[in-house]
Structure 1
Amino acid sequence: MTGLQIAYARAPVMQRAARRQAAWGLLRGLLAGAGHEDPVLSNPCPRCGGPHGPVLLAEADGTPLPWLAGVAYAGGYAVAAVHPRGAGAGAVTAFAIDAEPLVDAVRDAAGGAPGGILRWVRTEAVLKATARGLRIDPADVEIAEAQTAGADLADLAPGWWRARVAGAPARFVGAEPSGALVPPGILVSVALSRDPAAAEGSGRPATPRGAG
């Protein structure tokens, strides 16, 4: 995941427009740091066109930016991330993040997240990366830890994982950024898929840059 950048900020829990404004402000800041001072952001739904789909990044003239973006909201925070698309074999074709509070009284009183919070956040990140979300059964997402996933991920840092959706050709790799990269008390998972022409796990991830 060379080039991954993450930022987070406080965002109102119950105010959807304000949360979106906070997340998109974070994305604009990350992109400005990469030399894109006036990006156009949109998130049309692939099915209905409504403003609730994956975030798309473009220049003012409509030219797609060489970055993919993801946003998530959890525990009073907005979290945003960008990753370079790359080019040719090994280009990143899908990217998303998800986040959940490590402690949530309402969720935990209801029995917790299905399969545990770590599996849930990883699964949500993968489902968001497919652009189909919960139209896919979460049980169809298969996840394996990187250190036991086989030689194709042998050069990835410990703690990384890979995933696939049953019946689909795309393969995903992911990780949980930590420390100052993420809000306190929040678990964040990042998932991406590369051009299938490239060997999965072909490069060692660099240390992501974060902003708070």
Structure 2
Amino acid sequence: MCRFHIFLVAILVITSGQFIRAEQRPIEFKDMFAMGRVANAQISPHGKWVAYQATYYNVEDNSKNADIYLVSTDGKQHKRLTFDPKMDTSPRWSPEGDRLAFISNREGTSQVYLLNLKGGEARQATDIPTGVNSFNWSPDGNYFAVATDVYPEAESPSESAEMEEERSKDLATGKVIDNLLYRHWNSWRNGKYSHLVVVPVEGGEAVDITPGANDTPPISLGSD
């Protein structure tokens, strides 16, 4: 585990480019934003590559951008895979290791995008009206398991999105609290729950497999 952490630090140094300077000077506040934040490192099934996301911040514009990168486990090859100005995050390898799926908000809501590593542009693989919080591949590579926030009384993400649109027309801003867990950290519960839906990789309807007023995965109430 220690070696893996050292490897992630090495990636951060490579991507920032801010540590290689002709002159030495004390680190400044702006330098912290110039460095890329590395996250979601995922080793390929055959163990030769690591896919990860690097996020960069623009203080002047008060904005951020994340893209997907590849680095060989021997550190000799380094590739940038996405160049979109929006957020490309959470890369996940296909079981065969020939494709990468990731989450992007290129078209507004966060959806799963699919990139063939043999060439070509990334394509949108899901169209879930309630968006994608997280996802993973099925072992056979034919489906995505997706976590999305929906109203428990809705039978599908589409129906939940329609309910959201109708409720947005209500000008009342008061909240009716009838549950002990009415707030999670710094966000209010809004009547939605995280459900697990299954979507074919090649496109199709999202099927909710965890209906009811329960979160899947459960909300963590721990400190770490």
TM-score (norm 2): 0.27
TM-score (norm 1): 0.28
Structure number with greater Rg is: 2
